[in-house]
Structures are given as C-alpha cells and as structure tokens.
Structure 1
C-alpha cells in the first residue's frame, strides 16, 4: 500500500519535557489512522507537527514522498478540523466552506461548484445560505469537514472532532466521517482519547503513551492481543493476574469463568493451571448479566481484584448464595482466552 505520510525518528521537546520521543510511524494512503492515548501522550503534538504548526526538535516528516519537515502549513496541502470547528460567524455556510478555495484564488464558478459538491457530500446542501449560529453542533462539524475536504487535501487531519457533541451525535458522526472518507477516497489521521471511537472508526490504531508508540495495528488484531498492561488497560481490560508458567496475563470479564459447587462455567472448561480461588466482594445486576467483583490470590500470593460478567441463566439457583459478598468461588478461563502481556 502507498505511503501517504511518514514520521522518521521524530521528537519534540518543550524545555526539559519530551512530548514526542523518537516517533517512527507510517500513514497509509486511503486509510483512517487513529492516534489514541490519554492526555499528554503526544498524539496532538504529533498531529500538529504533521500539519506544520509545530516543528520537530529532531527527525523528519514526509508527505507524499516529499520532506516537509520545514515546509509551512499552507504549502503542505492538508485539511484540518479542530475541536472548536473555528467557523467564521459572519459568513454563510457556503462562504465558510469556500474560504480556502478563495485564498487559493480558485475561479468563482469552479469555487461554487466544488463548494456545492462538498456540502452535498456532508448532507448540508440545503443550508448553504445559513450562518453558523443557526446550525446545531453536529451541523457545524459537518461544515468544518466540508471546508477541509473542499480543497482536496492530501491528508485530512481531525483533532478530537467529536468531543463537543453529545453521545448520540458522536455515534452518528462516526458513521458519517467513515462514509465521507470512503466516498471521497480520503487519507485521514484522527486524534482521540476515546478507545471506543478508535475501535469503531479506524483502519489502523496507534496507541501512544509518554510520546512513544506502545502498539499499532488494525482494531481487530490489536484489541484481542494488547502488547502490554498499559495498552490493555487503555482498551478497557480489567483483569490482571500472575499465573504459574504464564507470567502476567489479562482476560476480558465476559471470558472469565466462575465455579461454585453447582455453578457451571460460562464457556469452555477451565484448565486447572488457570483456576484460582476467589471471594466475591460485590455484585451488580445488569439485565441478563451479573457483574461480579472478586478478590483472587494469584501465583505470587498477591490479592488482585477481578471482574466477571456472567449470564444470569447460566447460574444454578443453588449457587446463588456463593455470589453474595463473602461467597467463595473458583475463577479461571479457557487458556485460549488468556492474553500474555509483556513487562
């Protein structure tokens, strides 16, 4: 696959603080790549260096086979959507979308045609004459997307573009951005701290921490096999324990099995090497499932908290007393569901 952009040994220092530390990363053409991580991990600094708003302290940035490390933002051919959208309140929707074309001295007729196309792509052709203040948050974000797309960018950069929307609109806009990307054939780099957003939208996820890449890959490869505890915790894994001969492992709550005297395992039969005694500390009813919190003793003798999600209909009624706080059970997992983590 063609390389759209590349970071080569890129670092960025702010005084004694290193925000990005020796970043090597390839952005593939036609894909949506997500830079994912907690606040301060280096993802936004990386995006701003790619856009040209920050210069690397060391290393090189390439776009389309060209070294753009010292090229100013306006000459990189990129589109960018910020968290705040940054629309001009005194301009109509059409004028906002066409502003970049006007700066590039695109002829009026050509400008009008491309603005109309971009607004149709984001579903706002009927609102071309409105002012931004008359639009909802989701509509304003679509205008910002249209403005970035209309210049036909080599890369579209999105900096936390959904964080100002309510939960329902966020889900809707995830689907819309993916649709627009596919229809326009865009290469997109998205910065987010939301792992659910990244899993749903990405062709490739890049999990960052401390200015470095912890792990990267397609969501369906990365989620079931986190490389280390940081990545696992950031992706929502909750259970971590040491097992004999396996070292540190993690397993998702829905794959953790419980056994009492009558309690049947939720799945595939627990291997003895993965079974450990545990005490129930609390239980929460969630419709068809029970979320059971436990304290278990792992191979090191340490007490570790665990969470199991168990279907209510999989539990023998005679074992319900064991699922009250203080109840004693055995927990384990199919060995194939255990993910071994590096240090």
Structure 2
C-alpha cells in the first residue's frame, strides 16, 4: 500500500475550540476515501488543511512523501471541487477547464488537447463554447470536475460536491465520479455528510466526530461492524440494548422481526434475541411496514425498538399487530452487532 497523503498528529484549534484533534490518517493512493460525519465533526477542516488553505496548529501533513504542512495551495498540485462549483462566469466551458493549465504555462496546442480530453471524459465536449450560465447544475458540476482533473493532480479533493444537486442528479453524479476515478486512477478525497453517498462511492470510509476519527475501513466493514454507538447510530442502526454485563448490542430495523403469541416470523431464533415487547405504533407504507415497540433490556432499562419489514416478506402476524399488542422482538445471532464502549 502506498500513501498519497498522510496526517501525523494533526491538530487544528481556534482559541479553545478544537476542530481536529490529534488526527492520524493515511490516504491510500488510487483509492476514493470519504470523510464522513455530521456538521462540525472536522471533516471540511481536514480537507482544507490537506489543500493548504489552513495551516494546522500542530502535526505534519505529507503528500507523496513530501512534508507539505506549510506549503501554499499552488505548490501542492491538488485539484479541488467545491459545492458551489466556483466557475468563472465570463469564461467559456473550455476556458474554465483550461484555466489551471494556462496558469501552468502549458502551450496552447497541448492545452486545447487536454481540455477536449477532459471535457470528453465528463461528457461535455459538445458544450465547450458555452458559458456556465447556459448550463444546468449537473453540467456545471461536471465542468468543475473536468477543470480539477485537467491539471493531473496528485489528489482530487471534493468538498460536498453534490449537495446542491437534486436527488436524481446526485445519484447520477455519484456514478460519474466513480467512473472517472476508475478510468483515471486518481486518488480522491471526498467530504460528505450523506451516509448513502459514502457507502456507494467509497473504497475507504473515515467516520469522524468532534475532530476525531471514530472508524476507518471499507464501506461493507464499517456498515456491518460499526465500532461504537456513534458510528452505528450515524449509519442508521436504531435499536440499542444494554446487556447485564454493561455492554451494548444493536440491531438494524430491517433485521428486527416481530413475533406474536401463536404466530411465527419464520421461527423464533435458536440463538440471538427473543425479547418480550409491547407495540406502540404500527404503520403500513406500501413498500414496507414499520412496527415500533417498547421493551426492557437485560440491564433493566426501557428502550424503544423499531422493526422495518418489506411488504413481500411480511407475515400475517406482523401485518396484524396493533398498538398495545404483546409481541416478541426477534433477531438471529449473526444480525446482532456487539459494540465497543
């Protein structure tokens, strides 16, 4: 494994506020790494330190093995795409894409070749002579992406690049960014607060909270084995149960089934969860059915549990439950995640 960038003991503070706290992180070459977390977790500050827009209060940042901690942005050979696109309105699409190449004094003929190549890569070569105002939001984002990669950056940094697009375009651009990253072999660092976006696009996910890394790993690993309650909660685990020994268990809503007296959910699990509960709400939504329950866990604490069942797997017992019904909250052992403290 080769690291395109590395943070070693990096801290960024503003007075008494610590935005990033002793960060140690490796960005693998040729991978798409997402920095994921809620607002204020330090992910954008981390990206801006990597870009050179912020100098860390402590620690070292290396890019391709070179200490870049105090290098200005223009000396780092990085491409960056912001959520606002930041296109020059008075320049054509082609001139926007070629702007960084012109600053680097790339000869005109070579510059035209690179501009057309990168516009073709994002599917916009036919709009080379248009101005940004004549483009849709998705097209403007593609131009910003083409401009960032035209300079052959060591890393491509994306700061919430899809947040201003509608839902359909966001899904489309996720696929486009993955395709471009695969075709070019670029190392990409993407900042997002969207769990679905991170899961779909990442080779490596870095989940952050309060300036610290909570968990790093492949999306499937982080999703199926969250390291702690914060990561589990952030990724959509809704059911948390304390055990008698003080540890914590969690089950995703789609893995929690509802069993009733005299009925089954395909058979109670031989091992795992089989907890008495009382239904507080039952909602049919067409594609699925949501049952909310209260139960007392092994530590004697009352907790709320949520079960989501797809319509095509819904049993008559589950569809017939009503508030006040006494049921069993059930999950198989392999569906239960045991969390660290």
TM range (shorter): over 0.9
> 2:275 touches 2:328 (CA, 8 Å); kept in 1?
yes
**1:336 CA displacement:** 1.3
Residue by residue over 1:152-180, the C-alpha shift from the partner in whole angstroms, topping out at 9 and shown as x without a partner, is 00000000000000000000000000001
Aligned match of 1:329: 327
Which residues in structure 2 correspond to 1:297-312 (within 5 Å)? 297-312=296-311
Q: Secondary structure at the match of 1:100?
A: helix
Aligned match of 1:142: 142
> 2:258 touches 2:318 (CA, 8 Å); kept in 1?
no
> 1:228 touches 1:342 (CA, 8 Å); kept in 2?
yes
Which residues in structure 2 correspond to 1:242-321 (within 5 Å)? 242-244=242-244, 247-266=247-266, 269-271=268-270, 274-312=273-311, 317=316, 321=320
> 1:271 touches 1:333 (CA, 8 Å); kept in 2?
no
> 2:287 touches 2:311 (CA, 8 Å); kept in 1?
yes
Larger displacement relative to structure 2 (163-172 or 305-314): 305-314
* Divergent runs of 4+, >3 A: 243-246, 311-321
**1:342 CA displacement:** 1.3
**1:317 CA displacement:** 3.8
Q: Secondary structure at the match of 1:306?
A: strand
Which residues in structure 2 correspond to 1:132-171 (within 5 Å)? 132-171=132-171
In structure 2, distance between residues paired with 1:340 and 1:105: 57
Larger displacement relative to structure 2 (227-236 or 272-281): 272-281
In structure 2, distance between residues paired with 1:49 and 1:316: 53
**1:259 CA displacement:** 1.3
> Any stretches of 5+ residues in structure 2 without a counterpart?
none
Which residues in structure 2 correspond to 1:194-233 (within 5 Å)? 194-233=194-233
> Any stretches of 5+ residues in structure 1 without a counterpart?
none
In structure 1, distance between residues paired with 2:69 and 2:310: 54
Q: Secondary structure at the match of 2:224?
A: coil
- Cα separation, partners in 2 of 1:328 and 1:51, compared to 1, 3 Å: same
Aligned match of 2:106: 106
In structure 2, distance between residues paired with 1:341 and 1:198: 21
> 2:33 touches 2:190 (CA, 8 Å); kept in 1?
yes
- Cα separation, partners in 2 of 1:274 and 1:145, compared to 1, 3 Å: same
Over the aligned positions, Cα root-mean-square deviation in angstroms equals 1.5
Aligned match of 1:42: 42
> 2:249 touches 2:338 (CA, 8 Å); kept in 1?
yes
TM-score by length of 1: 0.96
> 1:34 touches 1:198 (CA, 8 Å); kept in 2?
yes
- Cα separation, partners in 2 of 1:34 and 1:95, compared to 1, 3 Å: same
- Cα separation, partners in 2 of 1:125 and 1:248, compared to 1, 3 Å: same
Aligned match of 2:189: 189
> 1:289 touches 1:309 (CA, 8 Å); kept in 2?
yes
Q: Secondary structure at the match of 1:223?
A: helix
> 1:241 touches 1:250 (CA, 8 Å); kept in 2?
yes
In structure 1, distance between residues paired with 2:204 and 2:59: 23
> 2:100 touches 2:151 (CA, 8 Å); kept in 1?
yes
Aligned match of 1:73: 73
**1:309 CA displacement:** 1.6
> 1:275 touches 1:333 (CA, 8 Å); kept in 2?
yes
> 1:122 touches 1:142 (CA, 8 Å); kept in 2?
yes
Residue by residue over 1:230-282, the C-alpha shift from the partner in whole angstroms, topping out at 9 and shown as x without a partner, is 0001111111112345821001111112211233125x742466222111111
**1:207 CA displacement:** 0.1
Aligned match of 2:130: 130
